[in-house]
Amino acid sequence: MKKKQADYALGKTFPGVAKILLKMKLTLCVILISFLGSMASESYSQTTKLSLDLKNAKVKDALGAIENQSEFFFLYSEKLIDVSRKVNIEVIGSTIEKILDMIFVGTDVNYSIKGRQIVLATPEANNIVEKSSVNQQQKKVTGKITDQSGVPIPGAAIIVKGTTIGITSDNDGNFSLSLPSDAKVLVFSFVGMKTQEIGVEGKTTFNVKLEDETVGIEEVVAIGYGTQKKSSLTGSVTSVTDKELMASPSVNVANSISGLMPGVITKMTSGEPGRDNPQILIRGRNTTGDNSPLVVVDGIQGVTGWERINSNDIESISVLKDASAAIYGARAANGVILITTKRGSLGKPTINYSFNQAITQPTRIPKMASSADFAGYVDQLDVESGQKTRYSEAEIQLFRNGTDPNYIDEDWYGKVLKKSSSQSQHNLNVRGGSENVKYSVSGSYTDEGSIFKNGSLKFNTYSLRSNVDAQINKNLKVGFDLNGSLEDGNYPAYDVGTTFGALKQIPFVPVFWPNGLPSAGIENGGNPGVMGTSLTGNRNTKTYRYMAKSSFDLTIPWVKGLGVDGYFAYSNDIGIDKNWQTPWTVYDYNKLTDTYVPKLGGGILYPQLTQSFTGSTSTLVNLRIKYELKINDHKLSTFIAAEQSNYIFSNFNAFRKNYISKAIDELFAGSLIDQSTGGVRSESGRQNLFGRISYGFREKYLIDFNYRYDGSSNFPKGKRFGFFPGASVAWRVSQENFMKNASFINNLKLRASVGKIGNDAIAAFQNLMLYTLGNTGMSFGSSPVATNGLIAGVTPNPNITWEVGTTANIGMDASFWNGLLGFTVDLFKQTRSNILATRDLAVPLYTGLSLPNENIGIVVNKGFEIELSHTKDMGDFSWRVAGNVSYSHNNVVDISEAQNVAEWKKQEGHPIGAIAYYHALGIFRTQAEVDAAPIYTGTKVGDLQYEDKDGDGKITANDMYTMDKTSTPEIVFGLNLSMNYKSFSLWANFTGAGRAWQYYHVNARIAMNQLADVILNRYTPGSMDSKYPRLPTLETMTEVSGLQSDFWLKNATYGRLKTLELSYNLPQNLLSKVKIQAMKLFINGQNLFTIDNVKWADPENSSNTAAYYPQSKLYNLGINLTF
């Protein structure tokens, strides 16, 4: 009863909590029921019945056949057990003991079965030692063999090099061995692990950590609703592991994946802490609509905030690029990013702590014109408009000298921004587990500062993530995942874009007057030296994310291979945005009276506060029935599943103004007059049925079929459900008998897939005519009272449904000479039809229609990905080089364009985002040239000359033509190097993009400075070779040289060193004394250098005025401790 009361109280205070508790109880119930139901327990070895029919087969193959047919796995050393011996086995429905007895009859191999694990050993090994040691002086050594995470490896072989003397490790990984006196080196080996050789001199204890074999044939990759061995993948799936992610000092995972996965395009368009999520595209653009991929974290779809999961907590990231994504149906057409977080593993608790401290710097800061150069430009403008020049030569010289305090040459960027800022990260995690319970608990903290001097901008994240798996009995496994995080962003009340725009202030005015008072800036007191600080007030955004997931996995005991699993997930994101705006004071200096004239900045007279609260809640229920069947060489696995999700969004906001005091920034303290409140709620839901059938024959011929029958509340009845199938096949040529002789080929696989996938990323209810009630009416009356105002929404489209992508992929994976050469190539084509777009290119605006999305467009996107790798292990020294190149080119086939548009101005036939430009031929240098050429009206000497595309003798808008130069790169590449020498390792990731362009509008006028390059190289009267024409002065593109032309289109191709890491693992013998298992020291960096042609701003910039928070360069020092 007590507990109930507590729940009630909690629920009363936080209504949402009651709901959470209820749902949790519900889930608990499901799990409890299934748990109780399967309390049965019998040993797996007794219940499992195997059938084998092997003639003259190697022991190794026999063991493999058992592994394929069951969940048993063998641990043994090939050095001790002769597995190439031929045997004949013919059994039907026999137990494992019987079969093993048959296989090893007549040998001294003994086996021990522990659950599903079978260790093979020979007593002979010890005998050898005994025999050979009779007459020799002996030295006894002991040790323990574990894997990287410290889990003991039983059955590993320890052999004295050059002898047959050896032993296998016991179930706890321990061994003890007497060495002959001439023993020099011990060889440690285990299947699937790298062999290690260690000198024996001076040592009696060997604690050896064996590393996974990197060639990774048996690497497991997450796919939709499951995992698959990389060798038996049929689709185009690329993945990256924690190792690569953790090498990057970025706190934003999305910025760490750049260049690591072929086909994944990232564009980091801002470096602002907390707002630096890059744009991510899988295989480029496929639609004129929403191109963002679906992100799935641990089975939960559409997760927001995934970018801020600590990289220490991520096991792997996989990307489904082709028909393999069809299992996610109507949301999968832009590709699917699957993130798997780390879970517990067998072994004693391992405590891991990592700390990173970084210095961040902008990658590039625009270099603005100096006062002297800018004054020259102002004079030129004065002359051109028939006025007297403002600055004499002598004055310009004074600006240049910088000796006269009245002639200031201010470096606004330098004065407002710091040289560098800092960033730190902490992560502490504990992982471990027994046969019954495995756990992983991890906490992280990050702290990011900004580059504003005295800036109030900072961003912190806190997260706690706990994944627990429990094996209740042999049939039932349950899991509980809980995580919570807080993203706490503190920003100046002024939008940083505006602040960066204000850095183009004219250099004659200082940021701060000599007495320290801030100057007034250009308008509204817009001095960026103040706008970046807390003088503007404070905007605090807090995002709390909670997720609880419980899952179960039940094996149905009496039908072999049949199982049921499922999960229930509840997530709740809460956003609190508190925007406290305060007016600030800046000063103009009146030099005639020598006074500082105060001026209020911020556009308001008194403080004001806007506070909003948003909550989004989603629930996901998933239930799946799966079945696996292995008969001899045939392996079939299939499942059918149902899923349902519900999403509720609600928001509440309040506003008060005219605060009489700055002291308290809470709502109550504001004026009661003109306060306002608002709130809204919306809901959506999805229901689906989906499944997969995978069939493999001897792991040689693989077929995979997956499908989803998907329904979404976004669409009207009758248009809600769609069927999305995907099929893929693979042929592992290297497994064929005829390839057996080509032993240099480790793997050769051909793949092909085709599928239908959808994209439903649009606003809901576009099938209905809806009216929004807003604060938009008029204020009638003698003392005005606001009316709401009801705004008509979009014209209903009763036929609306999702986009359909038909995707095809062929690919090849190959690996030669044990990894000396690895090779993957994929060719793809996606035809997206029914593209959801508004028909605004074709519908005249006089219709007044507020257009809904309609299924109108067709886009074809084609491309390829190539990945080459080279791995070499020379004992102490090993390295891997992998390079990838991705190319995608899309083409708008149909977007319902206006019928009358000139052919060359059409968007159809060009990539998405391609727009029409004038083609600049050069700069007019003489009046004669202007007179002789077709010109844009108003052209003067010094303006740009354009191509007369339509040949009508004058330059008009009809001469613009669509150029295939978009800001989305068509080529991206990555070059990853890793080198290990003894305890040192080096990791470098070079990334880059090609076939991308960025348009810049560089205008400068009396009130606005511009890049030094532009001002210095502008056209001045008489110039015959100026780099730039007469400079545009207006924001609008209406002046002759400021028209939208390809002259201002910059090739944004770049290559950069995205990540570099040098790390050192401290020697174990040193650490064991202080009870530390492992300690890694590393220095790493991000965006360390960039090669490009843009120069004006970072090549990943996407703002045509370059007014944005620049991308960051990071220098980081870190330590990673394992206890």
Partner 1 sequence: MTWIYNFINKRRKSPVFYSILLISMISLISSCTKDVLDKSPTDRFSDEAVWKDGNLIEQFVNNTYRVMPTCFSGGNYTSIAIIFAELTDELYGRGGNHNYINQGNITAAQLGALDWWTVGRGYNYWTVITQCNIFFSNIDAAPVDASIKNRMIGEMQFFRAYAYFRLVALYGGVPLITKPFGLTDDFKVPRNTYDECMNFVITELDAAAALLPTTYPAANLGRITKGAVLSIKSRALLYMASPLNNPANTATKWQAAADAAKVVIDLNLYSLYPNYKEQFMRTNSYNSEAIWSRPYNYSVSAENISFELRLYPNGYSGYGQVHPYQNIVDEFEMVSGKLPKDDPAYDPQNPYVNRDPRFYATILYDGAPFKGRPVETFIPGGMDSREGPISSWNATETGYYVRKFIDESITNPSSLNQANNPWIFSRYAEILLNYAEAKYNLGDEATCRQYINMIRSRPGVNMPPVTEAGVALLTRLQHERQIELIFEEHRWFDVRRWKIAPVVLNTLPKRMDIVKNLTTGVKTYTINTMQQFTFVFTDKNYLVPIPQTEIDKNPLLKQNPGY
In sequence order, the 6+-apart residues with CB closer than 8 A to the CB of 966 are 911, 912, 913, 914, 996, 997
Give 48 or 214: the residue with its C-beta nearer to partner 1: 48
Nearest residue to 328 via CA among 704, 753, 800, 725: 725
Residues 115-119: contacts with CB under 8 Å, at least 24 apart:
115/43, 115/44, 115/435, 116/44, 116/70, 116/71, 116/72, 116/73, 117/72, 117/73, 117/75, 117/154, 118/72, 118/73, 118/74, 118/75, 119/74, 119/75, 119/76, 119/154, 119/155, 119/168, 119/171
Smallest gap from Cβ 798 to partner 1, in A, equals 9
| Gap between the Cα atoms of 1015 and 841, Å rounded | 38
Smallest gap from Cβ 927 to partner 1, in A, equals 16
Smallest gap from Cβ 378 to partner 1, in A, equals 9
Give 304 or 1044: the residue with its C-beta nearer to partner 1: 1044
| Gap between the Cα atoms of 247 and 495, Å rounded | 32
| Gap between the Cα atoms of 477 and 104, Å rounded | 34
Smallest gap from Cβ 390 to partner 1, in A, equals 7
Question: Is 186:206 a contact under the CB 8 Å cutoff?
Answer: yes
Smallest gap from Cβ 494 to partner 1, in A, equals 13
Angle at 581 between CA 578 and CA 587, to 5 degrees: 155
Smallest gap from Cβ 599 to partner 1, in A, equals 6
Smallest gap from Cβ 58 to partner 1, in A, equals 39
Structure tokens at 344: 């517990």
Give 69 or 714: the residue with its C-beta nearer to partner 1: 714
| Gap between the Cα atoms of 908 and 896, Å rounded | 9
Smallest gap from Cβ 589 to partner 1, in A, equals 6
Give 588 or 929: the residue with its C-beta nearer to partner 1: 588
Give 106 or 784: the residue with its C-beta nearer to partner 1: 784
The residue type at 693: I
Give 92 or 845: the residue with its C-beta nearer to partner 1: 845
Give 381 or 979: the residue with its C-beta nearer to partner 1: 381
What does DSSP assign to residue 306?
G
In sequence order, the 6+-apart residues with CB closer than 8 A to the CB of 185 are 160, 161, 162, 197, 198, 199, 200
Give 660 or 770: the residue with its C-beta nearer to partner 1: 770
Smallest gap from Cβ 14 to partner 1, in A, equals 21
Give 130 or 683: the residue with its C-beta nearer to partner 1: 683
Smallest gap from Cβ 1050 to partner 1, in A, equals 24
Give 162 or 598: the residue with its C-beta nearer to partner 1: 598
The residue type at 712: S
Question: Is 924:939 a contact under the CB 8 Å cutoff?
Answer: yes
Smallest gap from Cβ 773 to partner 1, in A, equals 6
Query: Dihedral of CA 98/100/103/104: which sign?
Result: negative
Give 664 or 785: the residue with its C-beta nearer to partner 1: 785
CB neighbours of residue 716 within 10 Å: 17
Smallest gap from Cβ 376 to partner 1, in A, equals 16
Give 162 or 679: the residue with its C-beta nearer to partner 1: 679
Give 130 or 1035: the residue with its C-beta nearer to partner 1: 1035
**3-class secondary-structure state, position 126:** helix
Give 309 or 856: the residue with its C-beta nearer to partner 1: 856
Give 597 or 932: the residue with its C-beta nearer to partner 1: 597
Query: Dihedral of CA 107/112/113/117: which sign?
Result: negative
| Gap between the Cα atoms of 310 and 308, Å rounded | 6
Smallest gap from Cβ 564 to partner 1, in A, equals 7
Structure tokens at 365: 């800061």
Give 110 or 676: the residue with its C-beta nearer to partner 1: 676
Nearest residue to 832 via CA among 433, 288, 343: 288
Smallest gap from Cβ 549 to partner 1, in A, equals 15
Write out the DSSP string of 851-864.
Answer: PPPEEEEEEEEEEE
Give 786 or 814: the residue with its C-beta nearer to partner 1: 786
Provide φ and ψ at 946, rounded to 5°. -115, 160
Smallest gap from Cβ 1055 to partner 1, in A, equals 38
CB neighbours of residue 46 within 10 Å: 11
Beta partners for residue 800, in sequence order:
none
Give 180 or 909: the residue with its C-beta nearer to partner 1: 909
Question: Is 107:146 a contact under the CB 8 Å cutoff?
Answer: no
The distance of Cα 1096 from the centroid of its chain, to the nearest Å, equals 27
**3-class secondary-structure state, position 406:** coil
Smallest gap from Cβ 333 to partner 1, in A, equals 20
Nearest residue to 144 via CA among 119, 112, 176: 176
| Gap between the Cα atoms of 908 and 379, Å rounded | 46
| Gap between the Cα atoms of 759 and 414, Å rounded | 46
Write out the DSSP string of 320-388.
Answer: E-SGGGGGGGGG-TT-EEEEEE----SEEEEEEEEEEEEEEEES--PPBPPHHHHHHHHHHHHHHTT--
Smallest gap from Cβ 463 to partner 1, in A, equals 29
Distances (CA, A) of 687 to 530, 620, 623, 682, 713: 51, 10, 12, 18, 9
Smallest gap from Cβ 408 to partner 1, in A, equals 13
Structure tokens at 778: 């008029």
Residue keyed to tokens 């202080």: 1074
